Amino acid sequence: MVSVAALLTMAATGALGFWQLDRAGQKRDLQARIDERAQLPAWNAADVLNMDGPAAGLHRVVQLSGEWVPGTTLFLDNRQMAGRPGFFVVTALRLEGSAMAVLVQRGWVPRDFQERSRVPEVLTPDGIVAVQGWLAPPPGKLYELGEAGTGPIRQNIDIEGVSQEWGVPLLALSVVQTGTATDALRRDWSVVTAGVQKHLGYAFQWFGLCALAGFLYVWFQFISPRRKRSSHVSDA
């Protein structure tokens, strides 16, 4: 019975280790595609509007021109940059020559912890502006209690929901803005990675458990009993 349990444990943990290695291989391929796209020539607004679905454009560098849509600046709460809590500032950019807009993650600003309902003033100029960055999924969602807010401070943002709220057609992705932050924002964005190291770490843990189960089985089934018999013979 002990032998069966040990074999099952080693088979399960070993299989999980190889599965994590396979996942790491998939993520390594994804990372290669991310790096490759980042080196391609920047897309303009026409390229973005004509892409074959959001997935085709993810991680592409863009250089866009358009106008900030009035009344669409939101502050996403509980977001960190360089270990400090604050807001991610997002605003819809209507692409030049089109009715379509794209949500731009413009940067990070600190929060006023003395007056939590206060938002910092962020310069949002009128007229045509140039925005450079890369295409990304919409801002990641955090756990939220209760209904989504409706004011300038939000915990999360839903592209379809705010599109209806603002009456502005939005693309199903966002732009992470880069470049010098001249509007009181920080743009020290984390490097985009596919998470290869995470899966390699999980694989190491599973293989470690597999080896431990094998070692304990051999120790308690063979080595420890033999040592005890040898000790008894010596005492006799």
Task: Please say if the pLDDT value at position 4 is more than 90.
Answer: no
CA-to-CA distance for 192 and 185, rounded, in angstroms?
20
| pLDDT tens figures, 78-118 | 898 888 889 999 999 999 999 999 999 999 998 877 776 78
pTM above 0.85, yes or no: no
CA-to-CA distance for 159 and 140, rounded, in angstroms?
11
- For residue 227, the SS3 value is helix
Contacts of 89 (CB under 8 A, 6+ apart): 73, 74, 75, 76, 105, 106, 107, 108, 109, 122, 185
| pLDDT tens figures, 202-219 | 999 999 999 998 898 888
DSSP letters, 127-178, are: SEEEEEEEEEPSPPPPP--SSPP-SSEES---HHHHHHHHT--EEEEEEEE-
Give residue 146's pLDDT band: very low, low, confident or very high (50, 70, 90): low
- What stretch of H or E contains 28? helix 2-38
Strand partners, 67: 94, 128
CA-to-CA distance for 87 and 162, rounded, in angstroms?
18
- 191-213 core/surface letters (b: 16 or more CB in 10 A; e: else): eeebebeebbebbeebbebbeeb
- What stretch of H or E contains 74? strand 74-81
CA-to-CA distance for 199 and 115, rounded, in angstroms?
42
